[in-house]
Structure 1
């Protein structure tokens, strides 16, 4: 079916937009509440769309498994939006993010073992890392906003927005090997940023492990 494929890619693109705004919010470039409103819009779409795709599918276990992943994004964006707008304590969001991070590792293994898809595996691994960072800044209250903002900014493009756009234009599969290089380069970039912030005293191992 063409419709589910289009809806899935549109959902990925909108997720990229939400993560892009959230990255700017963490970096202090966007007002929290204005970003939160967009999170609610995207979160609602990411709940409705996968539910519809599951209903119209053959509901085989792997189809449900694939579409269920979208709920992770939808619920996260809704949670972020409500938490920010209501001024709630972020610990609940943080521990939910930890749970999602663990689920992402399951999807990473499935990408390797079942789908034999390196790009998908690297993407899920990067998302696991990002949700883990959300746990650290929300549940453990670590001062890592600058680092998390930069990680989220890169991931909003290389794991969501650009893959969605390339899929919609029909050239995604032609860039598979190139995307492996892009994802690995992104991971190396994260390591470089972390090292730079650590040397600048903006990331402290003591603050991390003392929690």
Structure 2
């Protein structure tokens, strides 16, 4: 019975991931977001699957919030279980260029994607280590890849800079914790609030592919890598 901890589940990829996992018998999902009281779609999924979906308050930018959420999850799991899949999915993007990007936008992006994913990892690491699978997914983007810099050129600098830093964090975590299956993951350009209507991928089909990559994750094939939504490796 796999257990999942997913951040940023009130909408988009996180919401769809929760929906699909909840529809499959045997999964236990801890779905987190900043404002559970206003997460109507997420709460509906939880009401339909009360035994498998637990909605928790978590502001990833605050270490105290991450620690509180981890303590709640530990209490719900009991002493003998851990988190099989930790999915750092919470994300934010702004449309900007280097000539107009604001310092506060850069700080917000870094706080969410870098500090936030580190806060969550630190808080939940003992539970991940206690699990059988030990998978940590850092949801990133090819916009954060130096190898793709010429293709994306000046697009979304604040978001790109933060995700590039998140990618480096992912590699550092892999080096520090070689027994965990930690990898960066690009979900593809998807029709969500973040991706916009011009995106070529539908969220339902894309997330189905994401789950396949997560469930296939192994130390020898995934740890320390930067992977596409189809499971192939992408350059950093």
Give the TM bin, normalised by the shorter chain: 0.3 to 0.5
- Structure number having the greater helix percentage: 1
Determine which structure has greater relative contact order: mean sequence separation of CA pairs < 8 Å that are 6+ residues apart, divided by chain length: 1
TM-score, normalised relative to structure 2: 0.33
TM-score, normalised relative to structure 1: 0.36
